[in-house]
Amino acid sequence: GSEVLVERFIPGDEHRLLVVGGRLVAAARGELAIVTGDGVSTVEQLINSQINTDPRRGTTEDFPLNLVLIDEDPAVRLELKRQGYEPESVPEQGKQVLVQRNGNVAFDVTDKVHPEVAAVASLAARVVGLDIAGVDLVAEDISRPLEAQGGAIVEVNAGPGLLMHLKPANGEARPVGQAIVDHLFGAEESGRIPVVGVAGTKGKTMVARLIARLLTLQGNYVGLACSEGLFFNERRIRKTDSTGWESAQRIFLNRAVEAAVVENSCRTMLAEGLAYDRCQVGVVTNLDRAATLPEYYVETEEQLRNVVRTQVDVVLPEGAAVLNAADAQVAGLAELCDGEVVFFASSQDAGPIAAHLAHGGRAVFLRGEQIMFAHGKEETAVSQLADVALAIDITQPGHVENVLAAVAAAWALDLPVDLIRDGIEAVDDVGADKK
C-alpha cells in the first residue's frame, strides 16, 4: 500500500518570534481571518466588506496585513472548499466561515512571551546554526511554557521578515533593525571599511591605483573602481571604464573587501552621485578651469568647484581630505572638511602649507628631490625621486604630484612610512593615467 504521513495536531495560534544573537527581540501573533454570514452576501462579498476594508490591509509593504484575494490565493479556496463553500456561496445569517488560517501574523506580543518560550526559540535558532532567525511556533497562550499547553515549534526561517515587528497591526513597534545592526557590529565598531575617494580633473586614475597598491601591500583585500577597470585585490575583472556608481557598489557588496578605492569623475558625480555616504579619505588632485560640463550646465570655475567639493563634503570627522595646495581652488576646499586636512604640493612654499604646518597640520612636499612628510615641526624623509619606480615615470607632467597625492592619502590612512616608501619604489603598474 501507499505510505501515509501522520502529523500531530497542535492547537493554538501561529506566532513568529524573532531571535537575534541568541536572544528574543520581538514576537508577533497571528489571528484567523473569519467572516460572518448575513444570509444575503456571497463569501467573496463578505471578505471584501468585512476583511479587506480593514485599513491595516493593503497590497504594499506599507501595510502590516495583506488583502485576502480569493482568485490569487489557492490556500483560501482550499480552506473554503474544506468547509463546503465556494466564493459565490451565501452563508446563512450568523454563520462564521473561516477564510484564512495563517498569513495574519502582525499583532505584537513581545512583552507577553514566557521566558521559557524565548529560551526554546533561541535554542532552535542556535541548533540550526542561525544567529538571526524567525521561529514559527503554535501555542494557545504565549505567556505559558510550550510543554504545559502542547505547543510546538513548527519552522525556523533563515530570512525572517521584519515588517510585522516594525509596523504591527496592533501593539508596540519594535526596533528590530537596530537590534540586528547592534548584533552584527559591536559597540566600538562602525561597520565601515576604509574608503578612499579620488576626485579632480587630471591624475585621478594613477592616484587611485597607487593608493590601492599601497593598501594591498599592507595586507588588505582591496577593491578598486577606476577609469581603467574594476579590480579586486589587483585582479582586473572588468576592463571598461568603471568610475560609475554601479561599479563602486559591486565593491561594497563584496564581503571580502577590506578597503575600497573609488575614482570619481565630475560627470559621474553629477549624473549618479557618489556610491558611498562617507569616506575615510577624500583626495582632490586638481581643478582644470577648462574642463566644464555644459551638458550639466556646469560652465564656470565656481560651478566646477561646487561639483568637486562633494568629495570633501563626505569625509568623516575622523578622516582626512588630501588637497593640492598648489591649486588655490582645491586648497580652498579645506574649510569644508569635517575631518583633518593633509596638503600636498611639489614645493613647500605652495599656498597654505606654511600656515597649515604652523598650526600643527600635515603636509607632503618635495625638498629638492626628496619626498617629505611634515607634521607641524616634525619632518620625515620618505624617498628620493630618483628611487621612485620606473613604472610611474616621474618625467611626465603631473606624475610627481600624483605620487605626492597618493602617498599623502596613504599617510592619512596611517600606513607605515616604510611600507609607503617600499610601495612607490617597487610598484610595477600604475595604469595609463589618461583620465
All cell numbers assigned to 182: 547592534
pLDDT at 238: 92
- Residue 412's Cβ-count burial label (10 Å; 0-12, 13-18, 19+) is buried
Domain 195-426, classified CATH 3.30.450.20, yes or no: no
* Selection from 277, 291, 236, 282 nearest residue 261 by Cα: 282
- Interatomic CA distance for residues 114 and 343, integer angstroms: 61
Q: Residue ranges of the chain with pLDDT lower than 70?
A: 1, 103, 429-435
pLDDT for residue 430: 66
CA distance 64 to 130: 25
**What is the rounded distance in angstroms from the CA atom of residue 412 to the CA atom of residue 232?**
22
* Order of strands across the sheet that contains 279-284: 235-238, 229-232, 222-226, 259-263, 195-199, 279-284, 315-324, 340-344, 362-367, 370-375, 378-384
pLDDT at 106: 84
Tell me the whole-structure pTM to 2 decimals. 0.71
* CATH code that applies to domain 1-30+104-187: 3.30.470.20
- Residue 434 has a pLDDT of 39
Residue extents of the structural domains in the chain: 1-30+104-187, 32-98, 195-426
Specify the pLDDT at position 1: 66
Asked if 1-30+104-187 and 195-426 have one fold, the answer is no
